[in-house]
Amino acid sequence: MPKRRNQRDVISTLPDEILCQILSLLPTRTSMATSLLSRRWRYLWRNVQVLDLNDDFCYTHERSDEDAEEYFLTFLKEVVPRFDRVRKFRLSCQASEYVYEDLFDWIDYAIGRVRELHFSMKTDGEIYTMHPSYMRSTWLMSLVLEGNIHILLEDLDPGRNLFFPSLKNLKLDITYVNLERFLSGCPNLEFLWATFENFTTDESDFHPEAIRMPRPLKILTLEERCSQVTLEHLEIDTPSLEYLHLSLWGDYKQILVCDYPNMKKACLEISPKPSHVAWLPKLLRALCKTEFLTLHLTTIQCLLRAPVLELPNFCNLIQLQLFFQGFESRLLVDLLHNCPKLQALLVGVFPSIDDYFNRSYQESHKPSGWTQPNSIPKCVISHLNTFEYGGCYNTAEEHDFIAYILQKGLVLKTMRIHAKAKAFYGFVKPELYEALSNIPRGSSMCRLEVV
């Protein structure tokens, strides 16, 4: 009987650099555990350049929450200094009043020593204040901070202002930060995702007058829920911008924009305040070269309030997504006339509760209800292949518009209607499907779905 050959440990023969890259894909505690495999693996984990730590293993039935937090802090103190060449540090942990200052000290420690830092702090709803003592690094390229955190940059000494000259990627999903001061120290930023709840805190009397975006930005997501706060000036003078998502609930008196020749996708959720009604058309003109455009409910309300609305020509737009509070066919037709290459139209409708926001637009576009356009929008007969309508109650205006697209859409491939139930009348799906099925279609390829 032949002898079995010893199975060879192929992976252990790989160079250290490749093994460390493999270990860097694992959680840090798992990569440390490989030290038990053999002498070959005993110290490899110290050369891993990615440190990925979370405190899940600390919370057991035997430990109280305070003991678990203390145990994790001890683990950090013992383990982190053993790693020689950390480039990326990811720290995710729970926090309480007992340990949060120690956790923030770890952020201060890491911020000047790594290329990428991701800190996520989970709390029970309590908000914790970070008083950074050191916010400078010539090495840091990516920074992510998440959690119920107030970052008080006002506490920094004047001679030690925040400065990250190499930072390209910044994500702030927190409660408060002096965003203007933070961005002033990031001159080469290309990706920004800023989500916060307020411009100021009870601990700070700071009220910004302006927020200026770094000019090299290519991707910008700015979301805030500061409905009671006024900002005099928002500056998005970023000619390289490719993606824009604005969700603004505060009162922005003025906005500075520029031409965005590289714009690919834009999403706008702008609260319907009088100052926003004044500058929103200017923003739309700046976005006229985008390929994908989403206008949320509040943005539509802004447009409907405009006494006079001059829509730009969206020369490159291939997908348009709109959300209405009560269907408004006139605005939709006007948009279609200005989107000559549109291929996909996605419409979502919520029931109209108050037509106050619609009043200005309706008064300048009488009579009310559906009126067939004098000319067919170019995109309908040449490019529009997908039409999806969500929240259809099968009102007369909705029915007439859908029928119009079905009849005039010469290259339409898919029409999908999401039917809603009418009060006291039940679901409209069967009657709607039957009515639309009897309408002559402009495209022999069109598939009708009512769901």
Mean pLDDT of 280-308: 95
pLDDT in tens, 108-139: 888 888 999 999 998 878 888 888 877 889 99
Q: Which amino acid is at 151?
A: I
Mean pLDDT score across all residues of the chain = 85
Query: Token pair for residue 209?
Result: 């007058």
Residue 149's DSSP bridge partners are 128
Share of the chain residues as helix, strand and coil, in percent rounded to the nearest 5: 30, 25, 45
Cβ atoms of 165 and 188 within 8 Å: the answer is yes
pLDDT of residue 52: 86
User: What pLDDT was estimated at residue 367?
Assistant: 41
Torsion of CA 296, 297, 302, 307, to 10 degrees: 120
pLDDT in tens, 232-264: 899 999 999 999 999 999 899 999 999 999 999
> What is the per-residue pLDDT across 398-447, written as a single tens digit (0 to 9) for each?
999 999 999 999 999 999 999 876 544 455 678 888 889 999 999 999 99
Q: Which of 85-94, 185-194, 320-329, 402-411 has the lowest mean pLDDT?
A: 85-94
Q: Please give the helix or strand (H or E) that residue 91 lies within, else none.
A: strand 88-94
Sequence-distant (≥ 6) Cβ neighbours of residue 237 within 8 angstroms = 212, 213, 215, 256, 257, 258
Q: Is the dihedral of CA 371, 374, 380, 381 positive or negative?
A: positive
Strongest mean pLDDT among 88-97, 341-350, 370-379, 388-397? 341-350
Determine what percent of the chain is predicted with pLDDT higher than 90.
47
What is the pTM assigned to this prediction? Answer: 0.85
Residue 206 has pLDDT above 60, yes or no: no
Please give the average per-residue pLDDT across 307-332, as a whole number: 93
pLDDT at 30: 76
Report how far residue 330's alpha carbon sits from residue 303's, in angstroms, rounded to the nearest whole number.
Answer: 12
- Asked if the model's pLDDT at residue 347 lies above 90, the reply is yes
Instruction: State pLDDT tens for residues 355-395.
Output: 434 444 444 444 446 788 889 999 999 999 999 999 988 88
C-alpha separations of 54 from 57, 92, 382 in Å: 8, 5, 54
Look at residues 107, 122, 101 and name the one whose alpha carbon lies nearest to residue 55: 122
Instruction: Determine the Cα–Cα distance for residues 82 and 84; give it in Å rounded to an integer.
Output: 6
User: Closest Cα partner for 396 from 441, 329, 346?
Assistant: 329
Do 200 and 230 form a contact (C-beta atoms < 8 A)? no
pLDDT at 356: 38
How would you list the strands of the sheet with 149-151, edge to edge?
Answer: 128-130, 149-151, 176-177
Return the domain boundaries, the chain.
291-451
Contact 269, 299 (CB under 8 A): yes
Closest to 383 in 3D by CA, of 345, 413, 343, 414 = 343
Mean pLDDT of 160-181: 90
